[in-house]
Structure 1
Amino acid sequence: MYTRFSRISSLLLFSSDQLINSVNLRNLSSMRFAENPKIAIAQMRSTNDKQHNLSQVKSIIEKAKSQEAKFVFFPECCDYVGSNREETLKLSEPLTGQTVNEYLRLARDNDLWISFGGVHEAIRDSDTGEGEVKNIYNTHIVVDNRGTIVGKYRKLHMFNVVTPEFKFRESETVRSGSALVPPIETPIGRLGLQICYDVRFGEASTLLRKQGAEILTYPSAFAVSTGKAHWEVLLRSRAIENQCFVIAAAQIGFHNKKRESYGHAMVVDPWGTVLGEAGQQDLDVVVTTLDYDRMSSVRQNMPCFEHRRDDVYNLSYCNAMPGVPLQEQKYFFGGIDIPKETIFFSSEHSFAFVNIRCVVPGHVLVSTKRAAARLPDLTPAEISDFFQSICKVQQVAEKLYDATSSTVTVQDGPEAGQTVQQVHCHVMPRHAGDFPENDQIYGELNRHDKEPERPRRTQEEMVAEANRFRDGFASMGL
C-alpha cells in the first residue's frame, strides 16, 4: 500500500527547514481517506448570469455525489464569465461575498471537499474594503467538507496573447498574484494549485513537486485554437515530468459572442495516461480514482527527481510574498532577529531587507537564510538562489530609484570589509555624479555603519521603504 513514508526521497529535496516544517505541520496519514477515493472533475459553460452558473455548480455536485465522489473540481470562471471588462469588474465579489459563501455552504451541506478553480476576487481599498473595484484577482480556492477555505492561490501568469484567431489581454482586468502557494494537505493527497495558462510554465509545477505536490491542478477556460493544439500535450507533459496526477476541470462552449472555451476536462496519472476525459457537452462530470500505488511505482522505478543536477542547474522558490506569511517567519542576520516589517523579499534560501544606514538612497541588503560565513560555504542551490535573488532586488531598486546602474558588492571576509559573518550582498542604485570619484562608494560602504554622524533611520522610514519594495515586486511580476 502506498504511504507517505515511501516519499522520503522527495522530502529530501526540501531544505532542512522545509523538511522540519513539513513534518511538524502534517500528520502523515491522518487526513487520507481509508481507500483511494473517487474524485469528480466538472465541465461547464459559465455566462454572465451568476444564478444560472450557480445552478450548474449545484447540478454537477448532485451528479458527483450520485457517483459517490468525495472531492469535486470546478473550472476557472466557475462563478461567471463577463462580456466585457466593465461587466467583469462589476460582477466581482470579495472572497467574503455571497457567491463564495454559497460555495462554502454547498461543501458543508454535501460533506464534500471542493476546488473552485477560479473566482473573480474583487480588489477594493485595502484599508476600508470599500470603493470602486479597479482590479480583480483570478483566485483558486479549496474548501473542505466543513465549509472552510483551506487553500487560496491567485493566478500568477497573465494570458496576454495575440494569435491569428483572437486577441486577449487578461492583465487589463486581472492583477497577477505574487506567490506560488505550497501544496495543501487534503484527504486525496497534497494539492498544488495552478490555473489555466499557468500550465505553460513548467518551472512552477516542478517547484510544487519539489515542495511535495502529488496532484497538480489546472482548472481552465482554455481557448479553442490553443486547446486543439496544446491542451492534452501540456497536461500530460506536466504529469510525466513531475510524476504527479494532473486534474484539469474545464469550461466548454460559447460564453458570449466573443469567447469560446475548448472543454475536454481531463485527469492524467503520473505515467501520462489519461484516466478520464469529458465529452463535448457542458454539465459533464468525469469520475475516477487516484491510484497511489501507481504513483509510488512510477517514482521508484524512474526516480527522476533524484537524478536532477542541482550542481549544474537549480530552480528556487522566489517571490516578494512567499506562501508562508512573513509574520509567521523568523529571519536572522548575524544572530539578530530582523524585524519582519523591514523584510520585503523571501526566496527558498535568501531574503532581502532595508538598511539601517544607507550609503545611497535605496541601499538594501540581500542575505542567505542559513548563517554561512563565506561564499564558498554555500551549496550550489544556495549560490544559485542567492544571486538570482540579488538580480531581482537590483531590478526593483533601479526602478524605484530611477537608476540605470547599481553597485552590487559582496564583502566576503573580514579583510574585504565584512563585519557581519553571514553571507550578504549590498545593492546600491547609482546615479551620475553621486560621488566625486565613482569608486569612492567603496570607502563610504566600509565606513557607513561606523560613523556616528550618519544617523540611524527610523523604524517608520524603514517600514515605508520595505512597503515600496514589496509594491515594486508586485508591479514588476517578480
Structure 2
Amino acid sequence: MRLWAPLLRRITSVEYRFYSTMAAKRIAVCQMTSVADKSKNLEVVTQLIHDAAKDNAQMIFFPEACDFICDNKKDTLASAEPILTGNTVKQYRDLAIEHNVWLSMGGVHEQDETNPNKMFNTHIIINSKGEIVQTYRKLHLFDVEIPEKNVRLKESDFCNPGRHIVTPVDSPVGKIGLAICYDMRFPELSTTLSVFNADILTYPSAFTHATGVAHWHVLLRARAIENQCYVIAAAQTGQHNSKRRSYGHALCVSPWGEVLADCGDSAPRYALAEIDTVREVRRNMPVFQHRRPDVYSLYALSLRKDRLPEHTENFAPVENRTADAAVDEPANVFGHVKVPESCVFYKSKLTYAFVNLRCVIPGHVLIAPLRLAERNKDLTDEEAEDFFRTVRLVQKLMERVHKTESCTVTIQDGPDAGQTVRHLHCHILPRRKGDFIENDHIYLELAKHDQFTPKYPGKPARSLEEMRTEATMLREEIKKMTEEER
C-alpha cells in the first residue's frame, strides 16, 4: 500500500478538476417543501426553473413528490394523475419548452389506470422541447417502521413497484441513471447503471429526517465513489404536514466523493454544480476492470431501454393492442393459439415458419413442427431432421433480408427454460452489433417479451395487416433465394 500512496495522493479532487475538460455542463439541484396543494407546489417549481435557467443551468433536478405530499392514502390516490394526460406533467413540459432546459422531475404520483387503489412513483425526464424522453418507476418501496425514531411509512399501501431497471438516458449533461430515494440503499441498482456507462446517478428524494441525519450524506457519497459517477440528489426538506418531515440537503457529489453542492435545510432553493467527464477518475482507478465476474455477477436483470407503452404518445389501451382476428382464413396449430395461414412464409412437409405477433427485435420469426409436439424430445427422427433443416434455411433467409452476419437461434425447451407456448418452437433473431447494450440481454427480453398484461406491458402486439405484409415479403425473398441457388 505504501508504494501506491504517492499515486493515490496525486489523484485528489483538485487534480480531478485539473484533468477535466473545458466542456463542463451546469446543473441545478433543487430543494422544496411540497404540500398537499398542487398549485402551490407548481408555483415553487416554476420559480425555481425560471431562476435556475437564468443562471444557465442546462438541466434542473427536482425531488421526489415535487407534485404534492398529502397526509393520507385517500387524498394521495385522488390527487395522482396519468403521465401523458395529467395537467401537472403538462405544466412541467411547457416549462421545459419556455425556459429551454431539460428537467428531471424526480418522482410524481402516477395514477394506475388499471387499479384505483394503487399508483406508481415515477421519475420523468423531459427534454428542452417538452418531450418525455424516459420514465422510471420506483423499484424499492419504503416500508419502514422505527418506533424509537417515530418513523412509519408504508409506501406499498398505496404504491406499486416498478419492474425494470432503465438503461441510462442520454442528456446534455451526460448519461443519467434513474432511481428514486430509497433505491439508494440498494447498490445492485447503482452498480448496474454504472456498468451500463452512466455518468450520473440520480436519487430525487423525500428522505425522512431521522434517517437523513444518520445516512443521507454517507450513502450518496458511497454511491458516487464506488461507481465513479456523479450523484445528484434533489431533496424535500422541512415539515410537510403534521405527520411528515424531510431532511433536505439536496446534494451533488463528484465521482471522487467530494460534495460539490449542498442545499442545507432551507427551501425553496437550488444549488449549481459543474458536471464534467468521469473518464479521468475511472482511468486512474479502473475498478470496473478489476471486477470479478467469474466470482460474482449481476445475472438476472430486468432492463428497459424504451419508454413504457403507456408513456408513449398515441398509446392504445391494452385491450385494443392485440392482433386483429383473422376472418374466414385457414390457421395452423401453435400450442393453445392459431397462426393464420397468411402469416406463414415457409412450409415444408413437417415444419412451418411464421412471423411473430410480438417481436423482441425486427426480423424475429418462429419455426414450429406442424404436429403439436411439445418438446424437442417429442419429435420423431424425421420431424427433427426436417425441423432443423428449416431452422438453417430460415436463419440464412433472415440474415439475407436484414443484411446481417449473425443470428440468435434459440429454443426454450420446457417451462423452466422460459417456454410459455406448449408447442416446440425455435426463435430466429437477426443480430447487429450494439442492438443490445450487453449481448446476452436478448435472452432476458426473450423470456418476457410475450407477457402482455396491464401490470406488465411487455411487447405490444402487431396488427394482422403488419404481420401479413412481412410474411408476403419473406415468401418472395425465400423464393428468390432458392432460385438463385439452383
TM range (shorter): 0.5 to 0.7
Which residue of structure 1 aligns with residue 470 of structure 2? none
Which residue of structure 1 aligns with residue 107 of structure 2? 118
Post-superposition Cα deviations, 1:157-206, rounded to whole Å, max 9, x if no partner, equal: 11111112211110111111110111010011001010000000110111
Q: What secondary structure is seen at the aligned counterpart in 2 of 1:279? A: coil
Are residue 305 (structure 1) and residue 296 (structure 2) matched? no
Are residue 208 (structure 1) and residue 196 (structure 2) matched? no
Are residue 100 (structure 1) and residue 80 (structure 2) matched? no
Cα 1:69/1:426, change in 2 over 3 Å: same
**2:305 pairs with one of 291, 298, 323:** 323
**2:356 pairs with one of 336, 339, 361:** 339
Post-superposition Cα deviations, 1:309-340, rounded to whole Å, max 9, x if no partner, equal: 11111113522x7334799xxxxxxx978835
**1:135 pairs with one of 99, 112, 118:** 118
Cα 1:92/1:422, change in 2 over 3 Å: closer
Post-superposition Cα deviations, 1:95-130, rounded to whole Å, max 9, x if no partner, equal: 1211100000000001111110010111113xxxxx
Which residue of structure 1 aligns with residue 204 of structure 2? 219
- For residues 353 and 199 of structure 2, the distance between their equivalents in structure 1, rounded to whole angstroms, comes to 37
- For residues 37 and 307 of structure 2, the distance between their equivalents in structure 1, rounded to whole angstroms, comes to 36
Which residue of structure 2 aligns with residue 44 of structure 1? 32
Give the total of aligned pairs. Answer: 326
Q: What secondary structure is seen at the aligned counterpart in 1 of 2:130? A: coil
- For residues 281 and 171 of structure 2, the distance between their equivalents in structure 1, rounded to whole angstroms, comes to 21
Which residue of structure 2 aligns with residue 233 of structure 1? 218
Larger Rg: 2
- For residues 357 and 251 of structure 1, the distance between their equivalents in structure 2, rounded to whole angstroms, comes to 58
Does the 8 A contact of 1:207 with 1:316 survive in 2? Answer: no
Which residue of structure 1 aligns with residue 239 of structure 2? 254
Give, in angstroms, the shift of residue 63 of structure 1: 2.3
**2:264 pairs with one of 279, 290, 308:** 279
Post-superposition Cα deviations, 1:55-104, rounded to whole Å, max 9, x if no partner, equal: 11011112212322111100000000011000001111101211100000
2:130 alignment partner AA:
G
- For residues 81 and 337 of structure 1, the distance between their equivalents in structure 2, rounded to whole angstroms, comes to 51
- For residues 84 and 280 of structure 1, the distance between their equivalents in structure 2, rounded to whole angstroms, comes to 25
Does the 8 A contact of 2:358 with 2:450 survive in 1? Answer: no
Are residue 71 (structure 1) and residue 53 (structure 2) matched? no
- For residues 464 and 216 of structure 1, the distance between their equivalents in structure 2, rounded to whole angstroms, comes to 28
Q: What secondary structure is seen at the aligned counterpart in 1 of 2:225? A: helix
Which residue of structure 2 aligns with residue 82 of structure 1? 70
**2:142 pairs with one of 133, 154, 159:** 159
Does the 8 A contact of 1:42 with 1:286 survive in 2? Answer: yes
- For residues 235 and 449 of structure 2, the distance between their equivalents in structure 1, rounded to whole angstroms, comes to 42
In the TM superposition, 1:385-464 aligns within 5 A as: 422=410, 424=412, 426-427=414-415
Does the 8 A contact of 1:342 with 1:466 survive in 2? Answer: no
Which residue of structure 1 aligns with residue 180 of structure 2? 195
Cα 1:310/1:470, change in 2 over 3 Å: farther
- For residues 471 and 108 of structure 1, the distance between their equivalents in structure 2, rounded to whole angstroms, comes to 32
Which residue of structure 2 aligns with residue 54 of structure 1? 42
**1:176 pairs with one of 158, 161, 168:** 161
Q: What secondary structure is seen at the aligned counterpart in 2 of 1:285? A: strand
1:109 alignment partner AA:
E
Does the 8 A contact of 2:104 with 2:123 survive in 1? Answer: yes
Give, in angstroms, the shift of residue 280 of structure 1: 1.8
Q: Which runs of 5 or more residues in structure 1 are unaligned?
A: 1-32, 126-131, 328-334, 347-355, 360-419, 430-444, 451-462, 474-478
Task: Provide the identity percentage.
Answer: 42
- For residues 248 and 340 of structure 1, the distance between their equivalents in structure 2, rounded to whole angstroms, comes to 41
Cα 1:272/1:336, change in 2 over 3 Å: farther
Q: Which runs of 5 or more residues in structure 2 are unaligned?
A: 1-20, 310-351, 362-371, 376-407, 426-447, 459-486
